[in-house]
């Protein structure tokens, strides 16, 4: 396996010329340095003309993630195929490169306010049911080895208790600390069997044409965890005016898979996911995704608990499922 020596147009053009000579003359750009200080993130996915994307890496940690993504996509594309996968038109380990066909559309974040949540949920459940089927995990593990846990788990509740205070103040920190105790109790009880998961199923990793799901992208965080972990970003923000999309997914998922989902476990993961996002962005001096403040995100989280009829200040029931 050989990755790019540097993040430059010249290096990328040379790699394209070796893997797909017919694309070497197309205009390309390379990502800037923002957020790329850690070698784990020394990768990029950029357009090649108006019909393709090329994904590449220029460090060993990033290359290992891309090589695993290439292998997993090849495994999941075999019949019975997981729907909504990117079409890989060319890939190579030397130089390491993956070229996929571009699909027109927009992020789920851009259409979530206007689509029918029930119709959208049925399509997402079709994807999730195929990805979470035991056979899909077996095929992926045959390609890349045993998968254990998420690749990039959200911060622990201990980290949130210790470091979130400067950004939300003492009163909200006491509330968050209580929520963290609740989440520890919820996730401390046994969950369902681990399934193959996308690992980063946020709105920008989905391509929609109005209310039709066209594509799910960015499988480099593939791992194994309970299904509720996969849904940790669906309570929001940016997933619609309320929680209708999440509740519709939770309604349709057991009808297709035969497996029930726990709203409490989704929210326990969501707590760590959302407040983890607040923490790293605040510490890095980066605005939150919706340009609101950390205290407002805590208020929103409280509203989501209420909307799902979950009281994190009360002892959770013994069976979260």
pLDDT in tens, 140-180: 999 999 998 998 899 999 999 999 999 999 999 999 999 99
What pLDDT score does 179 carry? 97
Q: Coil, helix or strand for 19?
A: helix
State residue 150 phi and psi, 5-degree precision.
-70, 150
Average pLDDT over residues 92-97: 97
Alpha carbons 287 and 73: distance in angstroms, whole number: 33
Tell me what percent of the residues of the chain surpass a pLDDT of 70: 97
What pLDDT score does 273 carry? 97
- Does residue 319 register a pLDDT over 60? no
Answer whether 234's CB lies under 8 Å from 304's CB: no
What pLDDT score does 37 carry? 80
Average pLDDT over residues 25-52: 88
pTM of the model: 0.93
Alpha carbons 313 and 180: distance in angstroms, whole number: 10
Tell me what percent of the residues of the chain surpass a pLDDT of 90: 88
- Does residue 321 register a pLDDT over 80? no
- Does residue 100 register a pLDDT over 60? yes
Answer whether 155's CB lies under 8 Å from 272's CB: yes
What pLDDT score does 317 carry? 60
Residue 47: count other Cβ atoms within 10 Å of its Cβ. 14
First-to-last alpha carbon distance for the chain, in angstroms, is 43
Banded pLDDT at 309 (limits 50, 70, 90): very high
What pLDDT score does 25 carry? 86
- Does residue 318 register a pLDDT over 90? no
**55-62 long-range Cβ contacts below 8 angstroms, 24+ apart:** 55/97, 55/98, 55/99, 55/100, 56/3, 56/4, 56/12, 56/15, 56/95, 56/96, 56/97, 56/98, 57/3, 57/4, 57/96, 58/3, 58/4, 58/5, 58/6, 58/7, 58/11, 59/3, 60/3, 62/3
- Does residue 202 register a pLDDT over 80? yes
- Does residue 116 register a pLDDT over 60? yes
What pLDDT score does 10 carry? 94
- Does residue 34 register a pLDDT over 80? no
Alpha carbons 128 and 133: distance in angstroms, whole number: 8
Token reading at 39:
């070698």
């Amino acid at each position: 396996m050989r990755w790019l020596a540097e993040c430059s147009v010249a290096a990328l053009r040379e790699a394209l010329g070796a893997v797909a000579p017919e694309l070497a003359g197309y205009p390309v750009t390379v990502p800037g340095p923002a957020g790329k200080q850690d070698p784990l993130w020394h990768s990029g996915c950029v357009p090649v003309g108006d019909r393709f994307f090329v994904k590449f890496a220029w460090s060993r940690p990033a290359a290992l993630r891309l090589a695993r993504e290439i292998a997993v996509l090849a495994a999941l594309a075999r019949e019975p195929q997981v729907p909504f996968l990117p079409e890989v038109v060319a890939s190579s380990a030397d130089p390491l490169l993956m070229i996929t066909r571009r699909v027109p559309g927009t992020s789920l974040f851009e259409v979530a306010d206007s689509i029918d949540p029930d119709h959208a949920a049925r399509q997402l459940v079709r994807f999730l049911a195929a990805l979470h089927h035991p056979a899909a995990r077996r095929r992926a593990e045959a390609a890349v080895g045993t998968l254990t846990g998420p690749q990039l788990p959200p911060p622990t509740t201990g980290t949130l208790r210790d470091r979130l205070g400067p950004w939300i103040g003492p009163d909200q920190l006491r509330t968050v600390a209580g929520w963290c105790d609740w989440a520890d109790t919820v996730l401390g009880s046994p969950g369902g069997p681990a399934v193959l998961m996308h690992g980063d199923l946020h709105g920008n990793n989905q391509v929609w044409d109005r209310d039709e799901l066209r594509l799910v992208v960015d499988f480099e965080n593939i791992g194994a965890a309970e299904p509720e972990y996969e849904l940790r970003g669906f309570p929001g923000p940016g997933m619609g005016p309320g929680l209708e999309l999440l509740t519709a997914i939770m309604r349709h998922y057991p009808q297709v898979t035969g497996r029930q989902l726990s709203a409490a476990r989704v929210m326990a993961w969501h707590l760590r996911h959302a407040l983890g996002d607040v923490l790293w962005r605040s510490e890095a001096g980066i605005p939150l995704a919706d340009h609101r403040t950390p205290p407002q995100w805590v208020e929103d989280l409280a509203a989501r608990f209420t909307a799902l009829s979950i009281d994190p200040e009360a002892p959770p029931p013994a069976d979260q499922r």
